[in-house]
Amino acid sequence: PPHDFSQQLYERYREAFNAYIISDVLPALREKQGEYMLKELVKRWDNHKIMVRWLSRFFNYLDRYYIQRHNLAQLKDVGMLCFRDLVYSELKKNVKDAVLALVDKERDGEQIDRALVKNILGIFVEMGMGGMEAYEQDFEAHLLTNTAAFYSRKASVWIDEDSCPDYLVKAEDCLKREKERVGHYLHASSESKLLKEVEKEVLAAYETQLLEKEHSGCAVLLRDDKTEDLARMFRLFKRIPAGLPPVADIFKKHVEKEGVTLVKQAEDAAGAKKDPSAKDKAAAAAQSTE
């Protein structure tokens, strides 16, 4: 004092970020669309973090004294908030749409830049400033809705075109690929929610139709002793609520039917052994009746 300019420095520190974002960052992002916008955003976010790191070091004195005494946001947080308030709030919808378009392309068999998607989703996480709200509300909620719609469309075609075993092979494969997708670029917390949507649309929605398919349902697989297909059926329907009781009911009826057949065969064999001429007598009686 009287030459303490901490307040003015703190204010100008924030103004420096805002001025840079408005003059350089936003114009560069606004002129691009889709994947090109995503690449530009990753570059601008990386540059911004470097700027935050060094400017906050230059004015470290403010963090140690002025900010603590006045209970203000730390320099690092100020820099992040400037980006969130000016860039993220404006572009998050377009960014979300562009990422979902890439996810759909990959689901349809096309190759995408997974590293780019991972970096973009990292921004959603970082915008939560230590929490997951931004990622969950601004991206994950839309991903889950999109996933449900995508697999609802696919399953409605598969159920008409495929046999029960072929359908279940596709269901198992898409669950595997969604799990891998989490490993490649989605946040780990999305895995259980994502798989639940797939299970609901692909398995739970069509369980009865699959089990009762005329030439390939559960009863046919049991009759033909298709152990591999039955094992897959068990693995998949075990994943959904109340998925196994319908399978168990069909298995029970199969066992009862087989049991009755075996008992009848045993009874017939025992009767023939006890009275070998019984067959001949029955045949003679039938002939005399004629």
Environment class of 180 (CB within 10 Å of its CB; exposed 0-12, middle 13-18, buried 19+): exposed
**CA 286 to CA 280: how far, in whole Å?**
10
* Pair of tokens at residue 223: 């009759």
Burial (0-12, 13-18, 19+ Cβ within 10 Å), 259: exposed
Give the residue from 128, 252, 106 showing the smallest Cα distance to 187: 128
Enumerate residues 6+ apart whose C-beta is below 8 A from 51. 17, 20, 79
Residue type, position 111, single letter:
Q
CB 142 within 8 Å of CB 100:
yes
Radius of gyration (C-alpha) of the chain in whole angstroms: 33
Q: Where are the alpha helices (DSSP H) in 185-217?
A: 191-198, 207-211
Spell out the residues 6+ positions from residue 55 whose beta carbon is closer than 8 angstroms to its own.
13, 16, 17, 75, 79
First to last CA, the chain: 129
Tokens linked to 254: 């199969």
Tens-level pLDDT at each residue, the chain (290 residues): 788 899 999 999 999 999 999 999 999 999 999 999 999 999 999 999 999 999 988 888 888 888 888 899 999 999 999 999 999 999 999 999 999 999 999 999 999 999 999 999 999 999 998 899 999 999 999 999 999 999 999 999 999 999 999 999 999 999 999 999 999 999 999 999 999 999 999 999 999 999 998 888 898 999 899 999 999 999 999 999 988 999 999 888 888 887 787 878 777 777 777 665 555 555 555 555 55
Give the total residue count for the chain: 290
